[in-house]
Structure 1
């Protein structure tokens, strides 16, 4: 059905109305002689539908410093005191359409800045940019019990209160969590030399070398990257069995996506498997082989035989480990490792004797209390980090921690370059931890965490594919040199933390889930859901066909 509207208006507005109402409109600006009494109603309806359409999606808002105009990363955005979002490293946060009611109040907080309340209806007038005003550090006037704050006394009290501030109350809880993980491998050099081949013709060997060269060129030109996003509800409860207490977790995944090049690899193990498959394509597909590297031999049998791989697939299918169980385990381990009350991961908090601390001043907290600001650096050789801490003056809880490896420091350094041709060093480890006080209890939970790890790797090893047979053996012998860097970044956001009952947890039914493969980041995928606004790098990433 088509309707001609007898009214004059500009092309841009006319185009908008057409899209919203799916009506056919005269495309010229000349008045149509025949007029209709329904024109005002149609225009009103079209206008309403146009604005409804423009708001029926998640929107992006930017937070900046009111004085410097610089972006403010990792600010907390409270939606009507129910859910808590976070601005990303570029200062943006994503507001879902479920929170776009005009009367909703956003409370934006960031340590070192004044709290700011903004109605959703005000965002358009602000051009979706929110400016926070910094608070003033008054060093000369700060006193604790009539004396200047001593950073070492502050840290001693922090350590004494860790169990109280971050301990579990054993009450059943429900947490809505968003987790983004990105991994990438950046090869600097890949060299593969075939030095022996008993089962290859010259033509086949040439094809092998061409395939290997193509594989290595692709890796260097397009470093493999992978991004996974997940939104889930995590239920935690303490159960008793045989007079012993156990922490139990149940997880329901609401949405999960993966963005990666098809067939690409982002870990050394995946790269190894792809390399082996490349070699196997040129070996006899009816035979069985094993791999040997130098003096180290593998007991694993590899082959392209269909009956052999069917057995392997069947063996894998009987494995009880599923995507749900592995994801839940990794997530709960991440939370546990960043629990300051039970974990020893962060020695600049739980082992302050290793560090030098400097009192930098005070600022206001989200609840308008005072927070001490301390910086730290290594004092003893075991200390590896530098950074900054924000500590609540009332209960000495760490509200925020920023840390990174000190210049020149490395973790987990293994150098067997001359003995085995292997060197691995963790040359980057930095992060941000933010904690919020539970609304119904006095202790704290992990609100946001960003953890980035970087590893340098060097492998220079011989590799042999040896046929498993009692007769003459086919052998393919190579020398492989592989050098580069790998990075992993995990972002964790607790959107809402609430108490539930034992019955609530018992009723939860866990369901297996699948990662939805996407070819580029599309905000429509997260329409109506909570998500951390992606960085520009992720928005630019496209899967190559």
Structure 2
């Protein structure tokens, strides 16, 4: 992909290697900001980067456990009743309009179907399913209607453009509700729009120190979308002592697939992969 960051980096490296003289250094400027860089450090860093990439490929599962734990922590902390949540349509209900749309059943429990929409500049719209008997929230479908965060500074931009999903709770044998399912999509947009000039200087050659200059206008936009699905098959209340003495299985390894492979699941006693998994494929774009 000629428009990718990898392609741009490779092109710049090729230009430097073909045109920069020995013992030169670079003056990199973007607006008011400037930095002197020794040319040898660029070539050395590219070699170190290649070595690091090879090392990461060889040990791709090293941080798998900690990564999954952090993701689970984030998913749970963003439930609508927690302080860290972005979902404010219950905590700040005065910012939303609620309307009863009907009745249905979830897990053989009758529920109210309540639709909510933003007043003025509130962030979300969606549907809440509330148990008729005990008024517990059993399901929430939500999606943002505004960007949740937008930052622009000195040509750099960051915007949270997508935040939508479904959360389902079910009543256990103790008549308390536990999390059963999370489906969340989180999308971000990041950009750089700044001038950039790279000036080659060399104090060991006759004449002026300035040898070559490369000028460009950077206009880079990156879209990143993350999709999470969590299914809780069972839950059990344990004591603090049991939790402290529990041992994590740190030998679990991840298998990364570029597309859905039905043979991968043979021999596993699991639920059938959903449509999103069956249609999954990795894109180079």
How does the TM-score come out when normalised to structure 1? 0.41
Paired residues for 1:263-278 under 5 Å: 272=5, 275-278=8-11
CA distance in 1: counterparts of 2:26 and 2:144, whole angstroms: 44
Distance 1:445 1:477, change over 3 A: farther
Q: In the TM superposition, what is the alpha-carbon distance from 1:400 to its structure 2 partner?
A: 0.5
Paired position in structure 1 for 2:124: 385
CA distance in 2: counterparts of 1:445 and 1:517, whole angstroms: 30
Q: The residue matched to 2:75 in structure 1 has which SS?
A: helix
Q: The residue matched to 2:167 in structure 1 has which SS?
A: strand
Q: The residue matched to 2:16 in structure 1 has which SS?
A: coil
Paired position in structure 1 for 2:59: none
Match of 2:140 among 379, 401, 410: 401
Q: Is the 8 A contact 1:519 1:542 kept in 2?
A: yes
Paired residues for 1:64-75 under 5 Å: none
Q: The residue matched to 2:236 in structure 1 has which SS?
A: strand
Paired position in structure 2 for 1:463: 196
Paired position in structure 1 for 2:169: 435
Cα deviation, 1:1-47, whole Å, max 9, x if unaligned, reads xxxxxxxxxxxxxxxxxxxxxxxxxxxxxxxxxxxxxxxxxxxxxxx
Paired position in structure 1 for 2:101: 360
Paired residues for 1:139-288 under 5 Å: 215-216=2-3, 272=5, 275-284=8-17
Paired position in structure 2 for 1:192: none
Q: In the TM superposition, what is the alpha-carbon distance from 1:388 to its structure 2 partner?
A: 0.8
Distance 1:322 1:475, change over 3 A: farther
Q: In the TM superposition, what is the alpha-carbon distance from 1:489 to its structure 2 partner?
A: 2.1
Cα deviation, 1:480-520, whole Å, max 9, x if unaligned, reads 22346443322222222223453475241442655433343
CA distance in 2: counterparts of 1:299 and 1:492, whole angstroms: 48
Q: In the TM superposition, what is the alpha-carbon distance from 1:461 to its structure 2 partner?
A: 2.0
CA distance in 2: counterparts of 1:533 and 1:431, whole angstroms: 18
Structure with the greater alpha carbon radius of gyration: 1
Paired position in structure 1 for 2:149: 412
Distance 1:326 1:291, change over 3 A: farther
Q: The residue matched to 1:372 in structure 2 has which SS?
A: strand
Runs of 5+ unmatched residues, structure 2: 57-61
Paired position in structure 1 for 2:160: 426
Q: Is the 8 A contact 1:339 1:446 kept in 2?
A: no
Paired position in structure 2 for 1:327: 68
CA distance in 2: counterparts of 1:522 and 1:393, whole angstroms: 42
Q: Is the 8 A contact 2:181 2:232 kept in 1?
A: yes
Q: Is the 8 A contact 1:448 1:494 kept in 2?
A: yes
Taking only aligned residues, the RMSD between alpha carbons, in angstroms, comes to 4.0
How does the TM-score come out when normalised to structure 2? 0.72
Q: Is the 8 A contact 2:80 2:87 kept in 1?
A: no
Q: In the TM superposition, what is the alpha-carbon distance from 1:396 to its structure 2 partner?
A: 2.1
CA distance in 2: counterparts of 1:481 and 1:310, whole angstroms: 24
Cα deviation, 1:402-422, whole Å, max 9, x if unaligned, reads 11223xx33213356xxx444
Paired position in structure 2 for 1:295: 32
CA distance in 2: counterparts of 1:336 and 1:510, whole angstroms: 23
Paired position in structure 2 for 1:257: none
Q: In the TM superposition, what is the alpha-carbon distance from 1:399 to its structure 2 partner?
A: 0.6
Distance 1:281 1:515, change over 3 A: farther
Paired position in structure 1 for 2:110: 370
Distance 1:519 1:424, change over 3 A: closer
Q: The residue matched to 1:282 in structure 2 has which SS?
A: helix
CA distance in 1: counterparts of 2:85 and 2:232, whole angstroms: 22
Q: Is the 8 A contact 1:520 1:543 kept in 2?
A: no
Distance 1:543 1:425, change over 3 A: closer
Q: Is the 8 A contact 1:303 1:309 kept in 2?
A: no
Paired position in structure 1 for 2:229: 491
The number of residues matched between the two structures is 265
Distance 1:482 1:358, change over 3 A: same
CA distance in 1: counterparts of 2:50 and 2:187, whole angstroms: 37
CA distance in 1: counterparts of 2:203 and 2:71, whole angstroms: 45
Q: In the TM superposition, what is the alpha-carbon distance from 1:468 to its structure 2 partner?
A: 8.9
Distance 1:338 1:215, change over 3 A: same
Does 1 or 2 have the higher relative contact order (CA < 8 Å, sep 6+)? 1
Q: Is the 8 A contact 2:77 2:85 kept in 1?
A: no
Q: Is the 8 A contact 2:158 2:190 kept in 1?
A: yes
Cα deviation, 1:256-298, whole Å, max 9, x if unaligned, reads xxxxxxxxxxxxxxx5466334422432398876854333456
